[in-house]
Amino acid sequence: MQKGDLVIQKQNDYELIDSGGGEKLERFNNIILRRPEAQAIWQKSLPESKWSSASAVFSRVGATGNWKVHTTENTDRLSVEVGGLSFNLRLLPSKHTGVFPEQSSHWSWLKSKIEAQVLEGKKVEVLNLFAYTGGATMACLQAGAEVCHVDASKFAVDLTDKNLQLNKLRDKPVRLIVDDVRKFIEREIKRGKKYDVILLDPPVYGKGVKNEVWKIEEDLTPFLKRITKLLPAKPLAVILNGYSSIYSHKTYLQVLSGAFEGVEGELCSGELFIKESESNRILPSGIYARLEN
């Protein structure tokens, strides 16, 4: 472990039970999920009998995949609480569930930063880009911020809306926008808009609303340089998240540092980990770079 690394452990509604052999075994609420995990190249700790009792198993089929469900419970109506936030669980063909538990370390950090500002009577405006199903959006709203949530996926934004309702946050100051993030920020720059906090969770490869192609190796650096136009001289925070095993968090740190030259703030970076509940092992689950004041 290094300074800057963030680790989450077992929670009431979530735990990483075991990992290994290219898979991970997790509990979401009262169902057990078995799905692929590229980082887990070590041996499993638990016997196959434990793994074979999973409620649902994900299998690859071509470029996508499917879930084989072994429970009578309606998984589409299941909610799970992670990091103090409730999510509608979804078994998606991408193998994902609509929630990334490792991100809860960021949520608690953001809440403390924002709450300190709100207690001083300051208004905090947050821009959440590539915002997915709204974990960071909800954390910031709980802390008293105003949030603009942007994602190119209508499905993700619709699920965010449901998550907001589940957490009784729909009446808070939030804008939910389905748009290509690059086009959106260009409009915000023209409007002269500024945000105290900007959160980014870009994919390695993706497509916008009108099939605009995003390639992180080509688009991230110029995108971050444009983002600086939306920041005050001393922003409260910027978080850049990543999931690709191709890049190190130091890569993200250097990209952020170069693009944000002249922006005041302290930079740090690290890995995101989830600790297994049945052992002392930790599963690498992402990287991040962060600027804060």
Local confidence pLDDT in tens for the 293 residues of the chain: 678 999 999 999 999 999 999 999 999 999 999 999 999 999 999 999 999 999 999 998 777 789 999 887 777 778 999 999 999 999 999 999 999 999 999 999 999 999 999 999 999 999 999 999 999 999 999 999 999 999 999 999 999 999 999 999 999 999 999 999 999 999 999 999 999 999 999 988 777 767 778 788 888 999 999 999 999 999 999 999 998 668 899 999 999 999 999 899 999 999 999 999 989 999 999 999 999 99
In a domain, 81, yes or no: yes
Amino acid identity, position 48: E
pLDDT of the residue at 73: 76
220: left (phi over 0), alpha (psi -120 to 50) or beta: alpha
Mark whether 109 and 84 lie in a shared domain.
no
Report whether 156 contacts 132 (CB < 8 A).
yes
**Dist CA 115 CA 112 (whole Å):** 5
Mark whether 133 and 83 lie in a shared domain.
no
Mark whether 84 and 107 lie in a shared domain.
no
CATH code for the domain of 133: 3.40.50.150
CB under 8 Å, gap of 24 or more: what pairs does 39-42 form?
Answer: 39/245, 39/283, 39/284, 39/285, 40/283, 42/281
Mark whether 139 and 189 lie in a shared domain.
yes
In a domain, 93, yes or no: no
Q: Which two tokens stand for residue 20?
A: 């290994």
Mark whether 213 and 172 lie in a shared domain.
yes
In a domain, 31, yes or no: yes
Domain residues for the domain of 105 are 101-292
Final residue before a domain boundary, out of 88, 112, 130: 88
- As a 3-state breakdown, the chain gives helix, strand, coil percent values, each rounded to 5, of 30, 35, 40
pLDDT of the residue at 278: 87
pLDDT of the residue at 79: 93
What pTM value is reported for the model? 0.93
Mark whether 152 and 194 lie in a shared domain.
yes
**Dist CA 249 CA 107 (whole Å):** 19
Mark whether 66 and 114 lie in a shared domain.
no
In a domain, 96, yes or no: no
**Dist CA 37 CA 39 (whole Å):** 6
Amino acid identity, position 171: D
Read off φ and ψ for residue 240, nearest 5 degrees: -115, 115
| DSSP state at residue 103 | G
CATH code for the domain of 63: 2.60.40.1180
Cα pseudo-dihedral 70, 153, 198, 275, rounded to 10: 10
**Dist CA 190 CA 96 (whole Å):** 36
Report whether 59 contacts 93 (CB < 8 A).
no
Mark whether 158 and 269 lie in a shared domain.
yes
In a domain, 95, yes or no: no
In a domain, 179, yes or no: yes
**Domain total of the chain:** 2
Mark whether 78 and 107 lie in a shared domain.
no
Report whether 40 contacts 80 (CB < 8 A).
no
Mark whether 84 and 198 lie in a shared domain.
no
pLDDT of the residue at 209: 67
pLDDT of the residue at 1: 65
Mark whether 131 and 72 lie in a shared domain.
no
Mark whether 77 and 115 lie in a shared domain.
no
In a domain, 1, yes or no: no
Look-up of token digits 């821009």: 127
